A and B are shown apart, each in its own frame.
Chain A
């Protein structure tokens, strides 16, 4: 077990290193640099050159990379060239919580909607309930989040005025207000996810219900709810958890769009703007954080998976 953990840790580190190099090179490949943005229309060759030098952007890419790594591992994540703000503050204090709340919100939303409807569809297999449910599921699974967002804003935000159209309020400060502001974004982001989960839940429950051990349980006199919720559900959850985990990455994809459309100050929007502004420090750090989050998610999914599935519990 220990040795396994160690191995895994090593892999993770190699992975992070690879990513950092990858992104660094790509960003350096990209034409233009932050100084161009900083000067904007006030550009003139002298201040350009001097500013570049001051920011150490005129050094060789390798040196720049090494400097970055050295500082990064020592916890000095650098600052925004343009605003002078510290990356750690922008990223961890301002942006990260937003994205976490958003993802959490949509995940909760998705699970609440998806799993019951998936079960219902499976039990009422090949009835109109099934068709309607799965129809909706695939519909939401196919709705581009940015377009869904726009529609929701204009229908429920502007026209009906039921929900706020944009902005973020930290739920930590004011829970109801925070949640109220997260409803439309969570729906936008969660819909796609809910569709997916509902479909897996259904198909996997259908499979499990055909399993022999379910018949055996029947033969033992188990019936009705107990059959589904006790004997089937655990087995259904195994694939569901796996996919849920695998797709959290896809969730972040949606997060970029959702944050852009709803003007949420989250990681997705941060990194997008950072890339466009060539905020090297910010991009590196954000990508690292996203990767680490991704790895942590996979880890927890593994743990959960092991808990649910005794067959892989050894090791």
Chain B
């Protein structure tokens, strides 16, 4: 998919500009933190510099803390990023995410060659000599079985829907397979990636059939590392897979490391403490409030950047008072994103004026915010909308915040605390109510709330970032937003092969969404990983991944 160079440069520039703006504001806000943030920021916009390549060294091990929780190591059933970050090292996908420091692309992983004779037919030529951890050969059979496992309603994979348009899988020979779809599904490349896509991750049939439910704890993949042990709430130990197919810089098979110990520390401050004390070599996620601290530290690299995500305040379109469009619009325009980015994200984010985020380079509009086309802060405008609302006098609403000891690296209740006074200005009295995760999920999934905050993360294609979230009746459309026109636009976009046309559709949809304001968009935040300077060769991907394939310890 060709795009000319200067356009990317421009995009990047916008990203940086947004960043500089926030940083300046941030400095004004908080002297102590601000300076530190500024210091670190330069580095993480050019991740590759941070990890200047030297001669790779073989052997040794690293210990990395995971803040995100790991649910299961069966990629077809996981729903946690923490787990996916582990999968990346145990499994391969049909495709994988690649990033040249400017743009994200999808390149063959287990597939050596990926041809499309027509928009709905994919012919994959698979790598030869790839072995599973249990010694089985990886063949076309595995592709077929995995794709069918995902689609099979009996298996009940929560990712089955990604293969909704899968028609049939034909084995051409041991290493060639033809996959036919009913529609030219544009989201497919992402779905087929080993990491966040999850629908392309290849698991070992024998192991699954042998282990049954326990497979999630006894995974068998083709990846560079294999699981040694998983001690509850303590650690996951990965060990070098000697027969891994990928070759390193020295021509010998990867990975360089013999062992990777993943420490399941939910307690952020403890993990940071351990990193500063040099007990661990990294963290899978840096909570925003620790950014300045870690960036100041000479022994630590902080790697990260704006990723394919957006956070928003969901307004329940089915329940008063937010069943009233002007009321929702009032909210969307009453929120000043800057202080939120300073106080909740500590500068680690840029404003979001709509859903589509910068890494979706082909679809993100650089002037999305500056043009003031979509949502932005304008109290007067907000008051005007509020005046049009059918709810004249002050309303009191409950804001549902996920609390409890979840160890999540998010901003927690901070956003709610910040927005509370802003909405008070337009006669909306917010009562913050914490719910621990199970309750929160239940209320969200059953639409039993008025106001809540949420974010969609690690998205790489507009379809996954918009379609299931906002199309009428789709599973993640928790606020019950419905607009036939919007549905039509994104529906078409799913199967529009031409990038230019597709972008046009998404531009329209994105704008419609922003102005209907089923939610108030807040930020596209940066995802940071902290690694000790000893850790070399880490390749940053804007898909919240922790791939240790080519990592070594200096």
The answer to whether A binds B is yes
Are A260 and B267 touching (Cβ within 8 A)? yes
Chain B residues contacting A276 (CB-CB under 8 Å) are 404-406, 436-438
Mask: chain A, 138-160; 1 = CB below 8 Å from B; 0 = not: 00000000000010011001100
Chain B residues contacting A44 (CB-CB under 8 Å) are 158, 161, 475
Are A54 and B279 touching (Cβ within 8 A)? no
Chain B: minimal CB distance from A60 (Å): 19
Tell whether A30 pairs with B213 under 8 Å between CB atoms, given A44-B161, A260-B405. no
B231 at the interface (CB under 8 A from A): yes
Are A263 and B267 touching (Cβ within 8 A)? yes
Chain B: minimal CB distance from A226 (Å): 49
B30 at the interface (CB under 8 A from A): no
Which of B80, B270, B437 has the largest number of chain A CB atoms within 10 A?
B270
Tell whether A43 pairs with B476 under 8 Å between CB atoms, given A38-B79, A161-B277. yes
Mask: chain A, 19-61; 1 = CB below 8 Å from B; 0 = not: 0000000000011111011111111110110110010000000
Mask: chain A, 65-103; 1 = CB below 8 Å from B; 0 = not: 000000000000001001111100110001100100000
Tell whether A94 pairs with B445 under 8 Å between CB atoms, given A51-B156, A82-B72. no
Are A263 and B265 touching (Cβ within 8 A)? yes
Are B234 and A165 touching (Cβ within 8 A)? no
Contact residue among B70, B277, B445 (Cβ-Cβ distance under 8 Å from A48): B445
Are B277 and A36 touching (Cβ within 8 A)? no
Chain A residues contacting B79 (CB-CB under 8 Å) are 38-42
Are A83 and B71 touching (Cβ within 8 A)? yes
Are B441 and A84 touching (Cβ within 8 A)? no
B388 at the interface (CB under 8 A from A): no
Complex interface: stretch among A205-213, A266-274, A291-299: A266-274
Q: Which of B200-235 contact A (CB under 8 A)?
A: 213-217, 230-235
A251 at the interface (CB under 8 A from B): no
Mask: chain B, 272-291; 1 = CB below 8 Å from A; 0 = not: 01101111000000000000
Are A36 and B233 touching (Cβ within 8 A)? no
Contact residue among A39, A83, A94, A95 (Cβ-Cβ distance under 8 Å from B158): A39
Mask: chain B, 410-446; 1 = CB below 8 Å from A; 0 = not: 0000000000000000000000000011111111010
Chain B: minimal CB distance from A76 (Å): 14
Chain B: minimal CB distance from A154 (Å): 6
A254 at the interface (CB under 8 A from B): no
Chain A residues contacting B215 (CB-CB under 8 Å) are 84
A239 at the interface (CB under 8 A from B): no
Chain B: minimal CB distance from A107 (Å): 22
Are B273 and A83 touching (Cβ within 8 A)? no
Tell whether A83 pairs with B438 under 8 Å between CB atoms, given A40-B80, A166-B274. no
Are A165 and B156 touching (Cβ within 8 A)? no
Contact residue among A32, A47, A85, A166 (Cβ-Cβ distance under 8 Å from B232): A85
Chain A: minimal CB distance from B480 (Å): 13
Of chain B, the residue at the smallest CB distance from A167 is B263
A187 at the interface (CB under 8 A from B): no
Chain B residues contacting A40 (CB-CB under 8 Å) are 71, 79-80, 441
Query: Complex Cα distance A85/B157, Å?
Result: 18
B524 at the interface (CB under 8 A from A): no
Count chain A residues whose beta carbon lies closer than 8 angstroms to a beta carbon of B.
Answer: 54
Are B269 and A43 touching (Cβ within 8 A)? no
Chain A: minimal CB distance from B118 (Å): 30
B271 at the interface (CB under 8 A from A): yes
Chain B: minimal CB distance from A42 (Å): 4
A193 at the interface (CB under 8 A from B): no
Q: Which of A96-154 contact B (CB under 8 A)?
A: 98, 150, 153-154
A278 at the interface (CB under 8 A from B): yes
Of chain B, the residue at the smallest CB distance from A48 is B445
Chain B residues contacting A47 (CB-CB under 8 Å) are 156-158, 160
Chain A residues contacting B57 (CB-CB under 8 Å) are none
Query: Complex Cα distance A263/B443, Å?
Result: 30
Tell whether A95 pairs with B233 under 8 Å between CB atoms, given A36-B445, A40-B80, A54-B156. yes
Chain A residues contacting B156 (CB-CB under 8 Å) are 47, 50-51, 54
Chain B residues contacting A54 (CB-CB under 8 Å) are 156
Are A158 and B436 touching (Cβ within 8 A)? no
Are B438 and A41 touching (Cβ within 8 A)? no
A192 at the interface (CB under 8 A from B): no
For this complex, 30 residue pairs linking A to B, each with C-beta atoms less than 8 Å apart, are: A30-B438, A32-B437, A32-B439, A34-B438, A37-B438, A40-B441, A42-B158, A43-B441, A43-B476, A44-B161, A84-B74, A84-B213, A85-B214, A85-B216, A150-B269, A154-B273, A158-B277, A166-B271, A166-B274, A166-B279, A168-B234, A260-B405, A261-B267, A261-B270, A262-B270, A263-B265, A276-B404, A276-B406, A276-B436, A276-B438
Give the A-binding residues of B (Cβ under 8 A). Answer: 70-72, 74, 77, 79-80, 156-161, 213-217, 230-235, 263-267, 269-271, 273-274, 276-279, 404-406, 436-443, 445, 456, 475-476
* Further pairs besides A90-B232, A94-B234, A167-B274: 18, Cβ < 8 Å: A31-B439, A31-B442, A32-B440, A36-B441, A36-B442, A37-B441, A39-B158, A42-B159, A83-B70, A94-B231, A94-B233, A95-B232, A153-B270, A154-B273, A166-B279, A260-B405, A276-B436, A277-B437
